[in-house]
A and B are shown apart, each in its own frame.
Chain A
Amino acid sequence: MDISPAQGLITASWLLIALPLAGAAVLLVGGRRTDRWGHLLGTATVVLSFVLGLLCTVQLAGLDEGGRSVGVDLFTFISAGNLDVHAGLLFDPLSAAFVLLITGVGSLIHVYSIGYMAHDPGRRRFFAYLNLFVAAMLLLVLGSNFVMLYVGWEGVGLASYLLIAFWFTRPAAATAAKKAFIMNRVGDVGLALAIFLMFAQLGTVTYEGVFGSIGTLAGGTITAIGLLLLLGACGKSGQFPLQAWLPDAMEGPTPVSALIHAATMVTAGVYLIARSAPIYDQTETARFVVMAVGGVTLLIGAIAGCAHDDIKKVLAYSTVSQIGYMFLAVGLGPVGYVAGLAHLFAHGFFKAGLFLGAGSVMHAMNDSVDMRRFGGLWNKMPVTFGTFALGYLALIGLIPFSGYWTKDAIIEATFDRGDVWGWLLGGAAVLGAGLTAFYMTRLMLMTFFGRSRWEDGVHPHESPKVMTVPMIVLAVGSVAAGFLLVEAFPLSDWMTPVFGEPSEGEHVIAPLTFGLAITVVALLGVALAWLFVGRREVPVTAPARVSPVTRAARHALYADAVNESLFMRPGQWLTRALVFFDNRGVDGAVNGMAAALGGSSSRLGRVQTGFVRTYALGMLGGAVLVAGALLAVTTG
């Protein structure tokens, strides 16, 4: 990795981060004075960032392939001893692609939020937090070393906390925010330890330095670094075993779910692993664990998605599951990085679109999220239905929509491993594709079709243009992104400077047969959903008597129960026991000793009289001791 100094517009790429950060600062410090125009400023900063990002990317594309890693050194952040951390940026094809995703989808969601949050008294605060998020996320992908990445990494965690808890007077929102932050921090510990280990072994934390010398380390150390990075990635991306926070995060306003908990922040784990490709290239073991985590998570998410009635939770579990696909891909190594990233970008479009559609539906249904009280909405809100349907087709991966191109590439590459794990995980991925088709069809049927089961006083209506236009743009992206990224302008070509030449390996299964098989599986999922949901009347309350499988799926395979019984409750007991021990044991022992020395414990309490004597005695004793000792030493 050779980093060349920035020239031209890219020298100003720090503005990408500074613009939304300044927006956040103005809105937070300005307070109520900025209420009237705060949302416009917030949107403008992100749009400007997008334009600047686009111009920088154009400039980058004009450079030689070998010179497309451009560094911008801003100032010395932390320098002590041998540690030298600079606030520096790295603008290369990978970060450029993320910049466009973050600011592009970010701009659309800011615009949408103007309408969605129009009646919320805290709209200015909302835009401030959104801007803060965009700035932190851009720092995460643009930083030129692992410490900058870490700063952005925790920064997006904070923004996510603030936004999940946006309606903080609701206890559920407050609790969900805290849960998200804590589980993210568990992952952050992994990332931090990975950085410590890099510094201890290599003496540097820059991408350039670490990737350049990683090969000199022992295999076990590289694997340890890879696994620690993975822990960080799992926390941020809601992957097993740290997946339980993401569905709860849906307590935040829906645009937040779209931008942060679907399109961008939760994909940071995929970015981290792709960015650290030179590390993972050296460790088969860590790669395998990444892949296995992805395989397990994609199934957990898909299974849980089948049993939930909350429209946002279904989409959240779907996100968990789809990021599982991305992890599976990047765990494959060089053949998978680009496939995983292509799915990430396509997913960014269609999942953001789906969430915005869900928000539009909620808007029409008095903020209800219960799909059992939806139904028959397709002709009441045609734009929402149309854009949502395109996102749906993209997600379940029917040809020629986005998901077909990007998801199939992952599954195909998994089988191409050729070994038993390839077949096993590939099988899981195919099963996941079927489940995805099932839960998404179920969602479509319960929301838009069938008899209307609305609660009293609900009068569905289409959302205003400021909301529908971003949905339309994202829907176009959902249709086109996959084809564009895989066939028309292959992402693999753009990423060549980062990951090397795309390799065309042997296919285990002929592509045509394969595409056909996947399509059949997806259609099977659709058909099953029709059989179970579409054909029948949907009861307005969830049936209580269900099979153990359904019950387990409703509880998301008991992830919360496990966390609570393994960590939370023992932790609470331990805390209570320690508080008792500290008050009675440690403090009691010391007080007892003091009392014994002082003659009576009551003296401890009688300050006004007791103190002066004690104090005088102490001073006198000290003075005598000092004088005596000094005299003895000097004269003796």
Chain B
Amino acid sequence: MSDFPFLLVMIALPAVAAAVVAAVPRGRDLLAKQISLGVSLGVLVLAVLATVAFDTGGDRFQLTTSVSWIAEFGVRFALGVDGIALVMLLLIGVLVPLVIVASWDDLAPGDEGSVPGGRSVRAYFAWLLLLEAMMVGVFAATDIFLFYVFFEAMLVPMYFLIGSFGGPRRQYAAVKFFLYSLVGGLIMLAAVIGLYVVSNSQLGEGTFAFDALRQLDITPGVQKLLFLGFFVAFAIKAPLVPFHTWLPDSGSEAPIGSAVLLVGVLDKVGTFGFLRYCLPLFPEASRYFAPYVLVLAVAGILYAALLAMGQSDMKRLVAYTSISHFGFIALGIFAFTTEAGTGAVLYMVNHGIATGLLFLVVGMLIARGGSRQIGDYGGVGARAPLLSGAFLLAGLASLAMPGTNSFVSEFLVLIGSFPTRPVFTILATVGIILAALYILLMYQRTMHGPPRGPLMVEPDDEPVAAGGGATAVATAPARASLRALDLSRRELAVVTPLVALIIGLGVYPQPLLSLIEPAVAATMSDVGADTGSGGTDR
């Protein structure tokens, strides 16, 4: 079974389907949705089968496919996954179908044509599928040039998802997102070419193959330059403070489904890049820059958490919490221990699930109330117990409550970082108090207290809250009656799998950990870290 080209199919299937969905005749929106859902479920099945075929004790990269692409420059269409990439593919596989179901009724047919270039149901789902293909590609690429191509190409569908389907300031947000990413990408491109140059002089012929580049012996000075090239691109993508200001705008203006994929998966390319490219390719530079990166990471944890507390817009708040969480991931990666690195990768998956749920539930709330402002809600819990329960659980996962998946990853990051970086870890640990604050403040203000706000007035005289614009979502349903306030069946179908994953992975994370750990241990030995952190030997 492992001969089956899983990765190729996982890219090609949604890419082709995107074209098909775009070509569905006008008026057959339901068909477009059904195709999208079916294909995304197919990708999920493939991801699961790929995991079954993956041998945790085997080669570092498995399920490989490699064909020559641009022979002149040694560029190959080379795919393969290690445990780290594989769990990200699983995350993509899980999130995309849920996002599709969650976005099912986001776009009313009347929207079509109201905005130049889009807002058609078919376009929305076609972009989503294309995005899925690009996301799979970026994690599965083992040729750096191919990685770069996916890295940049990923921007296009996301640009259109934000710019055409987002909230009132979508254009500003989309351009900002695009410019930031483009700048980062171009800097990385320079570094990619630099690597090619080095490989050309050392090996006699230039190559972009990750495995070959890993063997290069690069002088420290050049390493530092190339490291910075990659690092800046990834730090913008992740994003780390101070490269972060695009995320709150994009995260809040993007339609909820795209926001989930943006924060849940796309941004992880940054932290994935640290692990896959920065550490193994530039070990000395990584060690040299580690303290500086850690300063950014820990500053980001605290800074973004404080900012999250100060937000009045729920989507911006969630975006800031993510920046804070990315700080934890970066801490785990640059602490250079197997425990912390394993925790960081698990964090990447868990954050996608937990923040994904949080974004989705916030979106469901916004869809009902027509406003993104926390102040427009109050006492929702009394009328919508399922909604508030899902909100609370997502929040608890976000603040790393034991029993939820995020606890395991955050705990691993912190306990693994402590032996090598005690001071940074202690500062980061303060972040768990701030996390409780920003989550519970938002929860209390929206769900607790006496029912109030536009959502709670009788449906007949309900004023449509202005300026919320809650994405395309706001237009659709749920204006009807207070009885419709709680989660619908469709929404439950979105929430339930995520809740199950949050609790399931919180109680029994070991299957994912056994996938991740060998790859992280290999990476840490690449960077020359003392993999045996902790323990009596020190």
The answer to whether B437 and A80 touch across the interface, beta carbons within 8 angstroms, is: no
Is B193 part of the contact surface with A, judged by Cβ < 8 Å? Answer: yes
Chain B residues near A370: list those with CB within 8 A: none
The answer to whether A76 and B429 touch across the interface, beta carbons within 8 angstroms, is: no
Given contacts A150-B402, A618-B182, contact A81 B339 (CB under 8 A): yes
The answer to whether A197 and B171 touch across the interface, beta carbons within 8 angstroms, is: no
Q: Which of B56-64, B104-112, B266-274, B445-453 contacts A (4 or more CB under 8 A)?
A: B445-453
**Contacts across chains A and B counted by CB atoms under 8 Å:** 217
The answer to whether A80 and B517 touch across the interface, beta carbons within 8 angstroms, is: yes
The answer to whether B172 and A605 touch across the interface, beta carbons within 8 angstroms, is: yes
- Indicate with 1 or 0, residue by residue over B339-363, a CB within 8 angstroms of chain A CB atoms: 1001100000000000000000000
Neighbour of B418 across the interface among A76, A171, A200, CB < 8 A: A200
The answer to whether A575 and B436 touch across the interface, beta carbons within 8 angstroms, is: no
Is A115 part of the contact surface with B, judged by Cβ < 8 Å? Answer: no
CB under 8 Å from chain B, chain A span 174-193 = 174-175, 177-178, 181-182, 185-186, 188-189, 192-193
Neighbour of B179 across the interface among A28, A174, A594, CB < 8 A: A594
Minimum CB–CB distance for B338 against chain A, Å: 4
Chain A residues near B437: list those with CB within 8 A: 182
Neighbour of B414 across the interface among A28, A77, A196, A579, CB < 8 A: A196
Chain A residues near B337: list those with CB within 8 A: 81
Given contacts A630-B193, A633-B206, contact A78 B510 (CB under 8 A): yes
Is A421 part of the contact surface with B, judged by Cβ < 8 Å? Answer: no
Is B369 part of the contact surface with A, judged by Cβ < 8 Å? Answer: no
Kindly report which residue of chain A lies nearest to residue B148, judged by CB atoms: A626
CB under 8 Å from chain B, chain A span 396-432 = none
Which of B303, B432, B440 has the most chain A CB within a 10 Å cutoff?
A: B440
Chain A residues near B117: list those with CB within 8 A: 608
Which of A31, A80, A186, A575 has the most chain B CB within a 10 Å cutoff?
A: A80
The answer to whether A607 and B73 touch across the interface, beta carbons within 8 angstroms, is: no
The answer to whether A582 and B175 touch across the interface, beta carbons within 8 angstroms, is: no
Given contacts A169-B448, A611-B163, contact A196 B171 (CB under 8 A): no
Q: Which of A39-47, A151-159, A256-264, A513-521 contacts B (4 or more CB under 8 A)?
A: A151-159
Minimum CB–CB distance for B216 against chain A, Å: 15
- Across the A-B interface, the 8 shortest Cβ-Cβ residue pairs: A203-B535, A81-B338, A174-B448, A607-B171, A587-B245, A196-B418, A151-B402, A579-B310
For the complex with contacts A78-B509, A169-B451, 15 further pairs of A-B residues with Cβ separation under 8 Å are A31-B385, A81-B337, A81-B338, A154-B407, A161-B440, A165-B448, A193-B426, A197-B418, A199-B418, A203-B535, A586-B241, A615-B178, A622-B186, A630-B72, A633-B200
Which residues of chain A have a CB within 8 Å of any CB of chain B? 28, 31, 75-83, 147, 150-151, 154-155, 158, 161, 165, 168-171, 173-175, 177-178, 181-182, 185-186, 188-189, 192-193, 195-197, 199-200, 202-203, 213, 571, 574-576, 578-579, 582, 586-587, 590-591, 594, 604-608, 610-611, 614-615, 618, 621-622, 625-626, 629-630, 633-634
Can you name 18 A-B pairs with beta carbons within 8 Å? A75-B508, A77-B508, A78-B513, A79-B514, A83-B339, A83-B416, A147-B411, A161-B440, A169-B448, A170-B449, A196-B414, A578-B303, A578-B310, A586-B244, A591-B176, A608-B116, A611-B174, A618-B182
Which residues of chain B have a CB within 8 Å of any CB of chain A? 72-73, 116-117, 152, 159, 163, 171-172, 174-176, 178-179, 182, 185-186, 189-190, 193, 196-197, 200, 206, 241-242, 244-245, 303, 306-307, 309-311, 337-339, 342-343, 379, 381-382, 385, 389, 396, 401-403, 407-408, 411-412, 414-416, 418-419, 422, 425-426, 429-430, 432-433, 436-437, 440-441, 444, 447-451, 508-510, 513-514, 516-517, 520-521, 531-537
